[in-house]
Structure 1
Amino acid sequence: MTADTNTDLDTAQLPPPAEKSARALARARKRRSVARFWREYRTHRSGLWGLAGLILIALIAICAPLLVGADSQSVTDAPGGALEAPSGEFPLGTDQFGRSVLALLVWGARVSLTVGLLAAFLCVAIGTVVGIVAGHFRGWYSTVLMRVTDWFLVMPTLVLAIALATVMSRSIWTVILAIGVTTWPTTARLVRAQTLAVESRPYIERARALGGGHRHIMLRHVLPNVMPLVLAQTTLVISGAILTEATLAFLGLGDPTITSWGGMLQDAREAGAVSAGDWWYLAPPGLAIALVALAFTLCGRAIEAVLNPKLGVAR
């Protein structure tokens, strides 16, 4: 094979110059959008505080084996006595088995963050699909989907989650599923309203006139325009998911083999920490739940303010 033939083959494998330049322009536009978003986000002090708190908690959860040891959850190898008060060896005291409450708190961050993130992803995914489909298709499609959404919306979310967690096996995946399938209606309502607003714009009519099908319009035009709303809603849903997981664990419906902040509160109640005044067993997991929920809420409010400046959220 000659050199000219090799050159022709290499040239044939390269993308056309127009396609290459279009991709480069798209990447540059995305980079500018991300940079512009970060510049706006940095102007919200509360959002920065929330983001810093989340990064710190995430690092603690990831480095849990290095910080407190992999055997700190063991009941048989507990290093201390039952319900010891805070001391130099145990800064947050011990539980009824003699385990360090600080170590349990660090390990519990993993479960609480995992449940919050995965349950929120499931919730937002279901709500986004239902909202876009209900907003794009009119007639009986939208009517049926919205009636189902209204039924879930008027039913107490916690009651539905408790019912699902009761009839299914007690595991972390049951908790995630119970939270995800019961908290999506609010997201669906918001996404449907945004979808209706997007589809009333002229470029949607032009896309239909040029032969764009339902899939093309929903994926290429509607979904990118509702994603900012979905992103802001996700950060707000995560805090609610973490609180719901703590509630289910406190009611004894969580996985008893793992350590979570809600499970710590349940164990403290069963150990009589409330009546005995053992505050070091009750306060740390409760404060951790509140701080994480607050951090996600601050981030969500900041993101919402950046994506929709008309809201005028305080900085």
Structure 2
Amino acid sequence: MSTPSAAAVARARRRATLGRFARDYRSHRAGLTGLAVLGFFCLVAVFAPLLADPAGLDVVKATAPGHMAPTLAYPLGTDENGRSILTLLIHGTRMSLLVGLAATAIAMVIGTAVGVTAGFYSGWPRSVLTAVSDWFLVIPFLPLAIVLATVLGASLLNIIVVIGVTSWPGTARLVAAQTLSVRERPYLERARALGGGDWHLMTRHVLPNVMPLVMAHVVLTVSVAILSETTLSFLGLGDPTRPSWGYILEHAFSTGAMSNNEWWFVVPPGVCVVLVVLAFTLVGRTLESVLNPRLKEAR
């Protein structure tokens, strides 16, 4: 019988690892609930043009009365311009998730690069990178984000960049701590003795060992990014041409919907924000519990 190749053995190990991960994850009801909620909102975001005509976002094409209470034709009523709030909510799902995921991707790339470098090297590189991370952690997030968003201007890309470049320090600290642990392990010394350079050691040995916990932390960062986008949009710093949940809440506040008891203008976007943030938190905590050996042993 022929001996299996190294590639076949690696594939079998990956399948076994994914199988164990799936079994561990399925044992957490909270994680499954969060995953189901996220799946629902992702489907709404993907099929938003099919669920609600994008033409309904155009103020010029709105024909219904403004501030109309819910009816069969408009299940969540209308805004001050006569647009269906349900249409705004459906398309706002796409914008809010897009900003949250894109900003988190930027934060993950910056935080991982800074964290691995700071944890792998000693001396002045670690001191400089740690000082920069501490500076971003000390500066209050919201005022810094407001200043950057005001300077760069109100656009979707700018909001993504602002949230991304202000959300990476937590990831950097986590990655640096894990890298410090990994770099002391014997197999890293063996790889160095065999001629592996710094880049090879960081990309082939350090990064794969820190990425599972990074992914768990990143899922939690998405919820923070969505809350940040909602806050900035509520303050009028979001993109006015692309409605998000924060955009809807800002319009509800500026047009007096809250004082006029127009709950259909305020409650739906608020509930969506709470549900998505809670779902990402449940999934992130579950991933952290499954991927962190110390937490798994404590169960």
TM-score bracket, shorter-length normalisation: over 0.9
- The equivalences for 1:24-173 within 5 A come to 24-173=8-157
Distance 1:313 1:164 in 2: 43
Q: What is the aligned partner in structure 2 of residue 9 from structure 1?
A: none
CA distance 1:312–1:39, shift in 2 (3 Å): closer
Deviation at 1:309, TM superposition (A): 4.5
Deviation at 1:274, TM superposition (A): 1.4
> How many percent identity over aligned positions?
56
One-letter amino acid matched to 2:235: L
Distance 1:179 1:134 in 2: 22
Distance 2:22 2:239 in 1: 38
Q: What is the aligned partner in structure 1 of residue 230 from structure 2?
A: 246
Q: Over the residues paired in the alignment, what is the CA RMSD in angstroms? A: 1.7
CA distance 1:48–1:314, shift in 2 (3 Å): farther
Q: Deviations over 1:6-61 (max 9, x none)?
A: xxxxxxxxxxx98x821122122112211111111000000001001111111111
Kept after mapping to 2: 8 A contact 1:249/1:263: yes
TM-score (norm 2): 0.96
CA distance 1:281–1:313, shift in 2 (3 Å): farther
1:178 to 148, 162, 168: 162
- The equivalences for 1:256-267 within 5 A come to 256-267=240-251
Kept after mapping to 2: 8 A contact 1:198/1:225: yes
Q: What is the aligned partner in structure 2 of residue 230 from structure 1?
A: 214
CA distance 1:118–1:61, shift in 2 (3 Å): same
Distance 2:32 2:71 in 1: 33
CA distance 1:77–1:173, shift in 2 (3 Å): same
CA distance 1:232–1:93, shift in 2 (3 Å): same
Distance 1:36 1:81 in 2: 56
Deviation at 1:124, TM superposition (A): 1.1
Kept after mapping to 1: 8 A contact 2:290/2:296: no
Distance 1:309 1:204 in 2: 20
Q: What is the aligned partner in structure 2 of residue 268 from structure 1?
A: 252
Kept after mapping to 2: 8 A contact 1:166/1:253: yes
Deviation at 1:313, TM superposition (A): 11
Distance 1:144 1:68 in 2: 50
Distance 1:170 1:240 in 2: 20
2:261 to 277, 288, 293: 277
Structure 1 residue runs without a partner (length 5+): 1-16
1:220 and 2:198 aligned: no
Deviation at 1:71, TM superposition (A): 1.0
One-letter amino acid matched to 2:126: S
Distance 2:127 2:279 in 1: 37
Q: Deviations over 1:179-218 (max 9, x none)?
A: 0111111110110000000011111111111111100110
Matched residue pairs, number? Answer: 298
Q: What is the aligned partner in structure 2 of residue 297 from structure 1?
A: 281
Distance 2:284 2:50 in 1: 31
Distance 2:243 2:297 in 1: 36
1:198 and 2:168 aligned: no
Deviation at 1:228, TM superposition (A): 0.6
Q: Deviations over 1:168-188 (max 9, x none)?
A: 132111001000111111110
Which range moves more in the overlay, 42-51 or 27-36? 27-36
Q: What is the aligned partner in structure 2 of residue 208 from structure 1?
A: 192
Q: What's the secondary structure of 1:88's corresponding residue?
A: coil
Distance 1:102 1:310 in 2: 45
Which range moves more in the overlay, 161-170 or 133-142? 161-170
Distance 1:250 1:84 in 2: 22
One-letter amino acid matched to 2:117: V
Kept after mapping to 2: 8 A contact 1:248/1:262: yes
Distance 1:314 1:254 in 2: 43
Deviation at 1:227, TM superposition (A): 0.4
- The equivalences for 1:303-314 within 5 A come to 303-311=287-295
Rg comparison, structure with higher value: 1
